[in-house]
Structure 1
């Protein structure tokens, strides 16, 4: 998996009901936007799936790309000047207008856009006048064909303010990346249509969404419907997105995959995020801020009902962790720490959304895989979480998957158990004595749930296990901050060698489980 320059991505990405007749978009409503359209052609989701099936049986043809010598020069500054003129927004008088984004250095491939009118679709024809292209801008040298559209934004209703001033709530831009706004009003991590062997040796393949078809929302309570064509050297796919604007964003996603070859690590519902450092581990004086991350952990709800929290790492080398499961109930990359004082940054990391994948239907056996890549700055996405089926799909297979993707502040289905809220590492041993080599102290904090209801004098017991090494100085205590239900487990781990250590911990009262299960991968190469 190659890291993605997310700082440039973030900067580039954000800078009255439609007339309807018998459930169709009136052609006059489209014409009133000033956009140019092709002649209508038949369209349906069934047609798209059949088209993709036939396409997958043919050799891959990459999407058109405008003059690379020009596109390579449309960097961050040049792209920022290519603002889409909102008077040309598709469905601009509907519940949720749609605007388009221009190709550039970071988004070089063209994407075709279509407006669906019942059983017919009209392509939105690119015209340079849709964008603020100045006389001396490098983009003036581009021809009108092929199209210079690279992606799209879904906007808030016009009644809420100027489309140039109110940030969009859903964005699709670059390869198969897309994002939603969380309920705290921020964007952060990204989702992807598919992930093919991230973290493997060699360059990762990034299939592209090469065409979108749009159906407008009938009202603000209804979804925007988007159909998408995915294509790449190893796979083709047909998607249907129902985009719901809620307190955050909820996306109902159906995906049909048609591989061109066998794919060993086939990542479904992949999430991509950034984790540089947190209270868990931070190199000395690497940065002035206490924490920098878009997500701080992987949360899982297994098919058997276990609730798991795995804090993220910025590891010394690429690591891939697999969590075997059968019909998982959900997983997500979450941002749990909401305290501004823990970040002190004006980019509002404390408000970044969490993204939760809720499987629909039978996903069978497989694993949630977590890929963690070393990162030395916040500009790179270095975290990926995804579902990998037990049996790799081969050429000619048809894989159909459905899931609901929640962009919220936390899990849409919170556990009744206490949550892990911090993982802290230090030198092992006891104060006032020489600290022994190869011993690491852990402080794992839990908050809420049954811990807040423990009778006075009850001391929860830590249930600990490790893949290797031995524990010592194991005990629990209430965190001395007068917050009910805030407890921590403390223990030392003695281990030899530099290979990673897998640990588990939860708190219990007799046979009663009080907390979710904390999993952690410790890298002893990070010396105390």
Structure 2
């Protein structure tokens, strides 16, 4: 990889995992920073603030030869692992993604060692092109599409990909026991509104070179969009069971956004993206016998006032946005709760190994809502689920917004949710007479097994846009509880159900919140196909 070294003396500033305080500097004393001056999060914040005062630079267009590549052609372009900087010299190193096909954004890439900042230029020698494209048609200054972190998980001898940043502000990670699945984003702007969404993107990355004994790696990123700029610090600790990203971010509104920019009317903080085509509550198309096709099967929310709320994903015949207002958000995430292979029966996609993702704010996020966007996806190759935190108030003009939270990638359930029963699966029956619908939920967990068998368990039930006909609960021999309800829709739209088992006023289970379609949604075959990673 060709390198242009640009060293700056920056002084004795120390990087930490917490927000650093930048001393106030008068306008006359302010120093114009360049990307080569950024060696820690403190300086990146100053650089992002400086960029907020500059005109927005549009994304660099992708050369036509690369934009016209098919999916199969683009897959032929592979990074040459032997060209990776720092390879085998430190615990973690990085490789780059090539631009082309849908990977249109250009990013600049820097390595940081102490106070030395080194720019890593794009080089065609870093890639094997196969028969995909004539390399002579590729510009020498193409730039990168993104970056991946590779290394060894604890206790493993083989080198594996652990963390990627590619496309807009998307990133995803995995633990040693999972494969890639759902993704996270740096930020969502004006998402799920009656207007075009603004997609912020990471324009530059700085990777801090770890030492030989480090168990973590730090990535800095500059977020950019027509309406705002941002400084992000990702502190990544890979694990065999659970991998964690500590995120610190500071956002600045752009002082002079482009005339065609709508501006920030709604922020989606810590957005998560996934795919759900069918699973519990919905049968797949007749020509596909897989029981479930999804990267995640539901949204979990923990709040100070409502405890744990589980919202399984579903499919309406139209894009659907729902939300839950929260006074104090303790955490939220999208889970792949069901990890049994027979639930998916897909050796290629390995959906049973896809990770869950959990967001934990450094301090509870107050007064806002967790919003869920569900789009009726055409096939499993397209993400159609999004979940994010929407604060009720936007920052005042000129006031930066500082965020701190962790993003965890792990298999299955959130370990902290161990004192209430979980909804492990459910079934919908639409074959009942008089347009009635039956719902059976299985609640399981240690908290339910410890419930005295001779003690009555009550049902807390709320329903909107429907009438509750019958409800009953029974305990199984294993200590699980089966909750059966029968209801009738009051109109053509979905029925909103909220169900929980209680012992008096004490919750025994999470709140099962479900938006049940009146009719079985239809699929158009052959749009549904098996995705191969």
- Indicate conservation of the 8 Å contact 2:190/2:196, yes or no: no
1 CA distance for matches of 2:493 and 2:213? 53
2 CA distance for matches of 1:225 and 1:298? 28
**Which residue of the partner structure matches residue 273 of structure 1?**
274
Distance 1:133 1:456, change over 3 A: closer
CA shift at 1:397, angstroms?
3.4
How big is each residue's C-alpha offset from its partner over 1:280-311, in whole Å with a ceiling of 9 and x where there is no partner? 11255152111111100101110236111111
Indicate the larger mover: 69-78 or 443-452.
69-78
**Which residue of the partner structure matches residue 118 of structure 1?**
114
| 1:150 is the counterpart of 2:148 | no
| 1:194 is the counterpart of 2:191 | no
After superposition, residues 357-506 of structure 1 pair within 5 angstroms as 357-393=359-395, 396-409=398-411, 410-427=413-430, 429=432, 435-437=433-435, 439-479=436-476, 482=477, 484-506=478-500
CA shift at 1:324, angstroms?
1.0
- Indicate conservation of the 8 Å contact 1:449/1:515, yes or no: no
After superposition, residues 34-183 of structure 1 pair within 5 angstroms as 35-40=2-7, 41-43=36-38, 44-66=40-62, 68-92=63-87, 93-133=89-129, 137-147=133-143, 149-157=144-152, 166-183=159-176
**Which residue of the partner structure matches residue 15 of structure 2?**
none
1 CA distance for matches of 2:455 and 2:156? 52
How big is each residue's C-alpha offset from its partner over 1:434-460, in whole Å with a ceiling of 9 and x where there is no partner? x112x1111111001322123334442
| 1:287 is the counterpart of 2:288 | yes
CA shift at 1:135, angstroms?
8.2
TM-score by length of 2: 0.85
Indicate the larger mover: 196-205 or 185-194.
196-205
Q: Which runs of 5+ in 1 are unaligned?
A: 1-33, 430-434
CA shift at 1:476, angstroms?
0.7
- Indicate conservation of the 8 Å contact 1:196/1:266, yes or no: yes
| 1:316 is the counterpart of 2:294 | no
**Which residue of the partner structure matches residue 221 of structure 2?**
228
Q: Which runs of 5+ in 2 are unaligned?
A: 8-35, 255-261, 523-533
1 CA distance for matches of 2:172 and 2:209? 19
After superposition, residues 325-364 of structure 1 pair within 5 angstroms as 325-346=326-347, 347-364=349-366
How big is each residue's C-alpha offset from its partner over 1:418-441, in whole Å with a ceiling of 9 and x where there is no partner? 101112111375xxxxx112x111
4+ residue segments displaced more than 6 Å: none
2 CA distance for matches of 1:153 and 1:474? 51
- Indicate conservation of the 8 Å contact 1:307/1:415, yes or no: no
After superposition, residues 294-313 of structure 1 pair within 5 angstroms as 294-304=295-305, 306-313=307-314
2 CA distance for matches of 1:170 and 1:210? 17
Distance 1:459 1:169, change over 3 A: same
Distance 1:380 1:136, change over 3 A: closer
- Indicate conservation of the 8 Å contact 1:35/1:88, yes or no: no
- Indicate conservation of the 8 Å contact 2:73/2:132, yes or no: no
Indicate the larger mover: 81-90 or 204-213.
81-90
Indicate the larger mover: 182-191 or 452-461.
452-461
Distance 1:39 1:287, change over 3 A: same
- Indicate conservation of the 8 Å contact 2:304/2:327, yes or no: yes
Q: Which of 504, 512, 515 is matched with 1:518 structurally?
A: 512
Aligned residues: 481
How big is each residue's C-alpha offset from its partner over 1:88-139, in whole Å with a ceiling of 9 and x where there is no partner? 2122121012111111111112111101122231111222111123587234
Alpha-carbon RMSD: 2.3
CA shift at 1:78, angstroms?
2.6
CA shift at 1:326, angstroms?
2.3
Query: Secondary structure, in 3 states, of the residue corresponding to 1:396?
Result: coil
Query: Secondary structure, in 3 states, of the residue corresponding to 2:423?
Result: strand
Query: Secondary structure, in 3 states, of the residue corresponding to 1:451?
Result: helix
2 CA distance for matches of 1:123 and 1:370? 39
Distance 1:314 1:52, change over 3 A: same
CA shift at 1:525, angstroms?
4.8
CA shift at 1:160, angstroms?
5.4
CA shift at 1:515, angstroms?
0.8
TM-score by length of 1: 0.86
Distance 1:137 1:401, change over 3 A: same
- Indicate conservation of the 8 Å contact 2:151/2:161, yes or no: yes
Q: Which of 211, 223, 240 is matched with 1:218 structurally?
A: 211
2 CA distance for matches of 1:126 and 1:224? 22
Distance 1:136 1:403, change over 3 A: closer
